[in-house]
Amino acid sequence: MQPSVLSTYFMPATLVVIMLGLGLSLTLADFRRVLLFPRAIFIGLVCQMLLVPVLCYGLAVAFALPPIFAVGMMLLAASPGGAAANLFSHLARGDVALNLTLTAVNSLLSLLTLPFLVNLSLTLFMGEGKILPLQSDKILQVFAMVLVPVSIGMLIRHRRPAFALRVDRPFRIISAVFLALVVAAAVIKERALIGSAFEEVGLAALCFNLGSMALGYGFPRLLRLNQRQSIAIGMEVGIHNGALAITIASSPHLLNSSQMAIPPAIYSLIMFVTAGIFGWLLQRRAVTAEA
């Protein structure tokens, strides 16, 4: 999991393109609607910060994962939603403003919750009391890479609404292609390491991914949130920031474990396929309901 042209240049560029495209589809009215309904934010945070870690711990125990992989899974569960969650919610016609709000709030809270959950996992699975220092500078970098292009896109939408609507579909296609290229490059680069570990942790990662999305979508629907809000929370909860988890696991200044980075890497590969199918099924259901 060493730094490369992919992680240093292409992934940040992809993030900027995705966020710019999302900004083109948003208006200030979208965020005002979210703030008028704080219940959706609260339910999303309960799913992300309480229910998902409990689900992950249960799966790690049920599958009897090796301790280092179990901690890697818990690190992933503690990580906030990533840019891909916003994109897939956008493609599935979810409430993207809710996604962005949840990502922002959860990213701030994760400065405290992520070290706590990871240190607790180290103690439970490995009997170690390591201290994971806060990565406030990394969080600020992610904020800048997310909020700046989104703000530019929203400004274009405000000043040139006709142009923004005209380029919305092309930007969706471009964003999806960029993400596909990132996944393909990651698979090629880490194929030997990921392939050898897939047998041990692959099924657990798949179950965690499917369980997270089902929980993120089903729990809000059970509490009578609308379809768009439930899609947004489902994507936010089911698509974690694997890049952040991999960075924390493999960084020499943090956990310094390439093995611990394997579950987030495998999960990141799986989630693009499952999220695409999940979004497609939700779109078909919406079309059927309208018909």
Q: Does pLDDT of 277 surpass 60?
A: yes
Q: What is the mean pLDDT of residues 27-53?
A: 83
Residue 229 belongs to what domain range?
A: 5-290
The count of structural domains within the chain is: 1
Look at 120 and 111; give whichever has higher pLDDT. Answer: 120
* Residue 146: Cβ within 10 Å count: 23
**Residue 219 sits in a domain of what CATH number?**
1.20.1530.20
- Asked if residues 236 and 100 have their Cβ atoms less than 8 Å apart, the reply is no
Token pair, residue 59, equals: 């799966």
Q: Does pLDDT of 39 surpass 60?
A: yes
Prediction pTM value: 0.72
Look at 279 and 130; give whichever has higher pLDDT. Answer: 279
pLDDT, residue 1, reads: 43
* pLDDT tens track for 163-205: 888 887 787 777 767 766 665 665 666 566 666 777 778 899 9
* pLDDT tens track for 130-173: 555 545 555 565 566 667 887 888 888 888 888 888 887 787 77
Residue with tokens 């840019």: 83
- Asked if residues 44 and 220 have their Cβ atoms less than 8 Å apart, the reply is yes
